Amino acid sequence: DEANPRNLNKHGQILELAENWDDPAGDGFAWRLFLVAGDPEDPSTYFAGFPKERVSPISCPDNVAFDPHGNLWISTDGNQLGSHDGLFGVATHGERRGELKQFLTVPKGAETCGPVIQERRVLVAVQHPGEIDGASVEKPASTWPDGPGKLVRPSVVAVWRKDGREIGV
């Protein structure tokens, strides 16, 4: 159907919802596809009309947040493109609408979760690093965050710009 334009969709999509007459108290809404995830070279992907050759590949959007500038931030879980999960930012308005850029990547087997986007700092939870088939305590797929010989554990990571400028501008 229109809201899920691909059969057996392993990459996911994001719908954009708008209240009738842009009234947050309205009793109805309209929707449209904002992003159809997957390899940008796949003809079935869509990035709000932005040129696909100029976006980062994304798969399995999971959590979303908005920054103070109205950009959408998307964390992924279960990347089906063969790379690690990550956090992606995408412009929601203007001439860059649909321009999707990867902001960070998490360790092998981890999920990016719960993004909090502030003016000068981004927080993400890194869940279950190293959770892949064949991994065990004796033979971990990841030793993040403390390195070899240490237990793997989830963490919260803060990222900020060295120059102190705002993120997402």
Choose among 97, 11, 16: nearest CA to 54: 97
Type and span of the H or E element at 71? none
Residue 31's SS3 state is strand
Structure tokens at 136: 């065990």
- Count of residues for the chain? 169
pLDDT category of residue 4 using cuts at 50, 70 and 90: confident
Q: If you average pLDDT over residues 140-162, what whole number do you get?
A: 88
What is the predicted pLDDT for the residue at 69? 93
Termini Cα distance of the chain = 35
Q: 56-65, 76-85, 148-157: which range is least confident on average?
A: 148-157
Q: If you average pLDDT over residues 20-41, what whole number do you get?
A: 90
Where in the chain are the domains? 13-159
pLDDT category of residue 55 using cuts at 50, 70 and 90: very high
pLDDT category of residue 132 using cuts at 50, 70 and 90: confident
| Cβ–Cβ under 8 Å, residues 47 and 55 | yes
pLDDT score of 166 more than 80: yes
Q: DSSP labels for 97-166? A: TT-EEEEEEPPTT-EEEEEEE-SS-EEEEEESTT--TT--SSS-S--TTT-TTS----EEEEE--TT-PP
Considering the chain, what is the average pLDDT of its residues? 91
What is the predicted pLDDT for the residue at 112? 95
Choose among 152, 153, 150, 169: nearest CA to 161: 169
pLDDT category of residue 168 using cuts at 50, 70 and 90: confident
What is the predicted pLDDT for the residue at 81? 92
| Cβ–Cβ under 8 Å, residues 98 and 53 | no
pTM of the predicted protein model: 0.91
What is the predicted pLDDT for the residue at 13? 95
pLDDT category of residue 90 using cuts at 50, 70 and 90: very high
Q: How far apart are CA 36 and CA 29, in angstroms?
A: 20
Q: If you average pLDDT over residues 28-55, what whole number do you get?
A: 94
